[in-house]
Amino acid sequence: MNRAYPVIISLLAAVVIMAFFMPWIRVESEAMGFFNKLFGGKKGAQVESISGFRIPIIANSEESKMMIDIIMAYDPDAKDPSKRSYLVWLYPTLALMILFFSLAFPRNSWVNLGCGILAALVFGFGMYKVMNADTNRTQFMTLTVGPGVWVTLWGYLAIGIAGLFKFVSLSIKKPQ
């Protein structure tokens, strides 16, 4: 585990960061699809996939009404959701911080335990938010969780497990 750990953590952090640019939310609007078909001849619902990176950009742009509805589906009590949308950028930032501390202090069992616990907490918080999201909040659009969210969350769980294994491997006294 000691030799493989830096590689494992590096790969998992890279997966979390790449997942940030994958689709996180899929928005499907039957109403918009109807108008597109009526005026433009296109069939079906209008579908848009939004990456984690684009969430705060859209939430603070001219198209913000739709994104604020999406944010409110995941956090109904959010105050100033357009500004809070930038918190989604913590997901790749925390992955980079965990990677840094894991590589900077590879022999410190407490640092590895802290990184593992932090990653597990991120996984737990993210799963709680996804599972309790009101994706049927509006009647005009359907929200679906995209693969980027799942890859991010499972990547954090794997980082947490790897950090806990590293803590255990460093804590076991080797016979002299």
pLDDT tens-digit series, residues 38-76: 445 555 555 678 888 887 777 777 656 666 666 666 666
3-state secondary structure of 56: helix
Q: Quick check: is 137 in a domain?
A: yes
Q: Quick check: is 176 in a domain?
A: no
Q: Quick check: is 163 in a domain?
A: yes
Evaluate if residue 153 carries a pLDDT over 60.
yes
Domain count, the chain: 1
Q: Quick check: is 53 in a domain?
A: yes
Q: Quick check: is 155 in a domain?
A: yes
Range of the domain at 36: 5-171
Give per-residue burial for 76-88: e unless 16+ CB within 10 Å, then b.
eeeeebbeebeeb
Q: What is the pTM of this model?
A: 0.77
What's the mean per-residue pLDDT of the chain?
Answer: 80
Q: Quick check: is 142 in a domain?
A: yes
